[in-house]
Amino acid sequence: MCTSKCNRASAESKCSREMPIPSGEKGVDKVRDKVGDKDHHTQSSDAPLRGDLDNIRIVLVGTLYGGNVGSACRAMSNMGIRHLRLVAPDAALDWAEAEKMAVHADDVLAARETFATLGEAVADCVAVVGTTARRGLYRQHALTPRETAAAVAPLAATGPVAIVFGREDCGLHNEEVACCTHLVQIPTAAYASLNLAQAVMVMVYELFLAAGSFEPVREKSPPAPAALKARMIGIWRDYLGEIGFMEPAMADHMMAAMSRIFSRGALTEDDVRILMGVVRQSRWAVANGERS
């Protein structure tokens, strides 16, 4: 039975208090509990998976709401994580809502595997990470998502790693927490309980970063060397004098200010050439009175 915090009778009836400790058996086929053929799906996407993210299993325990399952699929897909495992989802879960919220992650939803107990769902996993909004007995050693991602990234290189999320109304039971090798709490202000799918997003985001999957867009133009910047300042100095922007007696002072402005950001070679081009084009326009 769930604790008194559970407020849905249907969820209670699903709550299994028997938590077999992962047996270490290889291959989920041995332990998978098919909840009807229709509910068992195999992975359908051919999209390439990056690094060890392919070894991450997102495990949702006793989920009540289809929208959360769908939104979790979307978050997973955003972060290149494709393997969803459901443990005894609520019988009344709205699958149409799940499909609606999954949006382009319908392949993740369709490829889900369903198990009767958490023990079965994580039997093949080398690490089992429980997520909890609560501190308390058995939950005091929780890490942050970032610390957790760093800790499990090397483990995911060796085998499947489960990230386990609890029920919307009462989280994970103590017996389920006892099944976990790691615990993680997402830091929050006073109100600690995130929406389930948002908690999934925070975790998969950190796992994605820890897997080194993100390559930021880099500036193609190299930083401008000092000589090129000095040439540009000289060109601006001449031109600002020519157009009467500054008196010759004020030129040193003004150009020191201009240099300060230009050095506020790291100028690339392309930036400097653009700033020289502005002067060149301005001179041409003044001399010719029209655009080139």
Give Cα separations from 230 to 55, 69, 204, 241, 269 (angstroms): 53, 58, 47, 17, 12
Does 199 interact with ligand SAH (rule: CB under 6 A)? yes
Q: Which is nearer to ligand SAH, 162 or 232 (CB)?
A: 162
What is the number of other CB atoms lying within 10 angstroms of the CB of residue 133?
A: 17
Give Cα separations from 62 to 47, 99, 238 (angstroms): 29, 18, 73
User: Binding ligand SAH by CB under 6 A: which of 28, 102, 196, 232?
Assistant: 196
Q: Which is nearer to ligand SAH, 102 or 118 (CB)?
A: 118
Residues 83-102 binding ligand SAH (CB under 6 A) are none
Q: How far is the CB of 268 from ligand SAH (least distance, A)?
A: 42
Give Cα separations from 193 to 20, 111, 130, 235 (angstroms): 27, 28, 14, 60
Q: How far is the CB of 68 from ligand SAH (least distance, A)?
A: 8
User: Binding ligand SAH by CB under 6 A: which of 84, 182, 185, 206?
Assistant: 185
Distance of alpha carbon 155 from alpha carbon 150, whole angstroms:
10
Residue 255, both tokens:
């150009």
Give the Cα-Cα-Cα angle 214, 217, 220 (nearest 5 degrees).
Answer: 145
User: Binding ligand SAH by CB under 6 A: which of 7, 23, 193, 263?
Assistant: 193
Q: How far is the CB of 117 from ligand SAH (least distance, A)?
A: 16
Does 62 interact with ligand SAH (rule: CB under 6 A)? no
Q: Which is nearer to ligand SAH, 7 or 281 (CB)?
A: 7
Residues 121-180 binding ligand SAH (CB under 6 A) are 131-134, 165-166, 168, 170-172
Distance of alpha carbon 194 from alpha carbon 188, whole angstroms:
9
What does residue 9 show for φ and ψ, rounded to 5 degrees? -60, -40
Binding residues for ligand SAH (CB under 6 A): 131-134, 165-166, 168, 170-172, 184-186, 188, 192-194, 196, 199
